[in-house]
Amino acid sequence: MSRSLVALIDIGKTHARLSVVDPTSGAEVRGSRRANAVIQGAVTRELDVAAIDQWLLEALRDAPHRERIRVIAPVAHGAAAVLIDRNGQVITAPDYEDSCFEQVSVAYRAQRDAYKDTYSPDLPLGLNLGRQLFFLQETQTQLFSRTTNALLYPQYWAWRLSGVMATEVTSLGCHSDLWRPGENRFSSLVEARGWKELFPMRKLASDLLGPISSEIATATGLDPACQVACGIHDSNASYLKFLIGREPEQPFTVISSGTWTVVMANRADLARLREDRDMLASVDAFGAPVATARFMGGREYEAIAGTDTRPNLPALVNVIERHAMALPTFASGGPFAGREGRLINAEGLSGSERASMATLYVALMCELLIETLGARGDVLIDGPLATNPLFGSVLATCLPDRAVLLSSGTSGNARAACYLAGFQDASSESVAATTPVTIKSLPAYRDAWRNLLPR
């Protein structure tokens, strides 16, 4: 069993990645990555599941030691479902950033459950999965009537590989309006609209649905006995790998980064959540609600930096001394949704200075969300922000009374994938402490930035 490998399929909003991992050491044996795109469907913009499918089969076929892959664990972003007809054909896979979903907002708001019941905020576009389903049912009656199953995005890939359909709670509870986490049941909206029958039987993220289908075995050369795990929402995978092995009552905070920057606070009080600040209760792999706040940090960083140049300390000092600032917001969602982002004193900044200003912005936003959540304990940074040379140090300076730790693993959610694959003794997540930056004018910069925030 020590020679067994686990394949992690991580389908994010911006990129898709396949990692083949040794569950004993946590080392990545092989990694493959592609940029995702959306396509125009007959009704909405859609996730290009066909292109991802083709890439995935090729990546699995080309993986070294593919015959040793014993389990495949799918991870994918939230606010996404793929509708399937009775013949197993994809009807549509809507992209949550399509503005068409706004057409039904008024009617939809009248039917969605109260925030206090779902802890799912009313979000723009199709960021509430319920609004996507409502739009299709109301405006595309014939298309929607063909739907026999709605597969949440991680479970779509699990079904594609195994032929077994399932529903899992981390995606179901991801600002979807479909789930009441305090009652562990579907929302009244689901019941009233007749959607409950569209969702297959609920499974745990770690449940093995069965072996890969004969079609997949032939197309990839994988061992036909290779199993497929049910799968998990991507931010919850980041949270899970830090939750594993900790005492249940131990507070800690995870910053999961990528296209979205998601702050998840273990043991924080759900009563602090505010709908108007895009705060929600995520649902972890074991069904427990987790106080959460987020913003589109990756997308905003790119918009502010405007360059691939890395930030550095001299550039950071120049930005702070100049009081060059970014004010929210530069993307959809987040606590200041609907506000137009703006730059102050940013004329003529170099690439490294723009990147440093973007790093400051994301760090100050994270500190604000941590404060708003009442999050306690160690702060654990996962994803691309853990590789930013300044982010952890800036955040540690803003949070002097707690440890700020960087995930130093090289294969993303590998530990979570190994856990889901049944390797309960998978290697521990490696973290590294950060050193605060010593810039005397940073506190004044922070205070000035906060005073300029939208009210």
Q: Assess contact for 381 and 359: CB atoms under 8 A.
A: no
Domain edge (last residue) among 194, 211, 230: 230
Give the three-class secondary structure for 223. Answer: coil
The pLDDT value recorded for residue 333 is 85
Residue 236, domain member (yes or no): no
Give residue 424's pLDDT: 72
Q: Beta strands 227-229 and 208-211: pairing type?
A: antiparallel
Sorting pLDDT into bands at 50, 70 and 90, what band is 427? Answer: low
Burial of 351 (0-12, 13-18, 19+ CB in 10 A): middle
Nearest by Cα to 383 from 267, 277, 241: 241
Is residue 268 within 8 Å of 224, Cβ to Cβ? no
Length of the chain: 455
The answer to the question of residue 235 being in a domain is no
Identify the three-state secondary structure at position 327: strand
pLDDT at residue 26 above 90? no
Q: What percentage of the chain exceeds 70 in pLDDT?
A: 98
- Judge if 278 and 402 occupy the same domain: yes
Name the strands in the sheet holding 90-92, side by side, starting at the edge strand that comes first in the sequence: 90-92, 81-85, 147-152
User: 349 and 226: one domain?
Assistant: no
Same structural domain, 226 and 256: no
**Alpha-carbon gap, residue 118 to 62, rounded angstroms:** 43
Contact by Cβ (8 Å): 123, 177: no
Q: Considering 230, 264, 288, which residue would you say is the last residue of a domain?
A: 230
Same domain as 207, residue 248: no
Please indicate, yes or no, if residue 132 is contained in any of the structural domains. yes
- What is the pLDDT of the chain when averaged over all its residues? 94
Give residue 455's pLDDT.
80
Q: Are residues 207 and 254 in the same domain?
A: no
Residues 194, 265, single domain; the answer is: no
191 within some domain: yes
Taking 90 as the threshold, does the pLDDT of residue 204 lie above it?
A: yes
- Per the structure, the complete domain to which residue 122 belongs is given by 5-230
Q: Which of 364, 362, 392 is nearest to 450 (CA)?
A: 364
Distance CA 258, CA 274 (A): 23
User: Do 217 and 247 have their domain in common?
Assistant: no
How many helices (DSSP H) and strands (DSSP E) are in the chain? 16, 23
Residues 381-422: tens digit of each pLDDT: 999 999 999 999 999 999 999 999 998 765 568 889 999 999
Task: Kindly state whether residues 294 and 434 are assigned to the same domain.
Answer: yes
d(C-alpha 419, C-alpha 411), whole Å: 14
Say whether both 96 and 29 belong to one domain: yes
pLDDT digits (tens, 9 = 90+) for 50-93: 999 999 999 999 998 999 999 999 999 999 999 999 999 999 99
Indicate the pTM of the whole model.
0.92
Q: Which whole-number Å values give the CA distances from 98 to 43, 94, 130, in the listed order? A: 10, 8, 14
- Look up residue 209 and give its amino acid: L
Same structural domain, 299 and 399: yes
Q: What is the pLDDT of residue 412?
A: 67
426 pLDDT more than 90: no
Determine the pLDDT at residue 1.
Answer: 44
Taking residues 284-300, report their average pLDDT. Answer: 96
Res. 12 pLDDT band, cuts 50 70 90: very high
Q: How far apart are CA 141 and CA 164, in angstroms?
A: 27
Amino acid at 352: S
Tell me, what CATH number does 20's domain have?
3.30.420.40
pLDDT computed for residue 271 by the predictor:
96
List, for residues 107-135, the tens digit of each pLDDT value: 999 999 999 999 999 999 999 999 999 99
Burial, 183: exposed, middle or buried (Cβ in 10 Å; 0-12, 13-18, 19+)?
A: exposed
Predicted local distance difference test score (pLDDT) of residue 428: 60
Whether residues 162 and 297 share a domain: the answer is no
Name, in order, each residue with C-beta under 8 angstroms of 378's C-beta and a sequence gap of 6 or more.
252, 253, 402, 403, 404, 405
Instruction: Please give the DSSP secondary-structure letter assigned to residue 203.
Output: -
Identify the residue whose tokens are 């589109």. 296
Number of structural domains found in the chain: 2
Task: Give me the mean pLDDT over the 377-384 stretch.
Answer: 94
Query: Residue 249: what pLDDT?
Result: 83
Share of the chain above pLDDT 90, in %: 87
Collect all residues with Cβ–Cβ distance below 8 Å to 360 and sequence separation of at least 6.
316, 319, 320, 325, 326, 394, 445, 449
d(CA 343, CA 362): 14
Residue 30 pLDDT grade (very low, low, confident, very high; cuts 50, 70, 90): confident
**Strand (E) or helix (H) holding 150:** strand 147-152
Q: 79 to each of 12, 123, 177, how far by Cα in Å? A: 11, 11, 10
pLDDT band at 35 (very low <50, low <70, confident <90, very high): very high
User: 189 falls in which pLDDT band (50, 70, 90)?
Assistant: very high
Distance CA 403, CA 377 (A): 8
Q: What is the mean pLDDT of residues 351-360?
A: 98
Using CA atoms, how far apart are residues 405 and 111, in angstroms rounded to an integer? Answer: 42
Beta bridge partners of 290: 282
From 195, 230, 265, give the residue that closes a domain.
Answer: 230
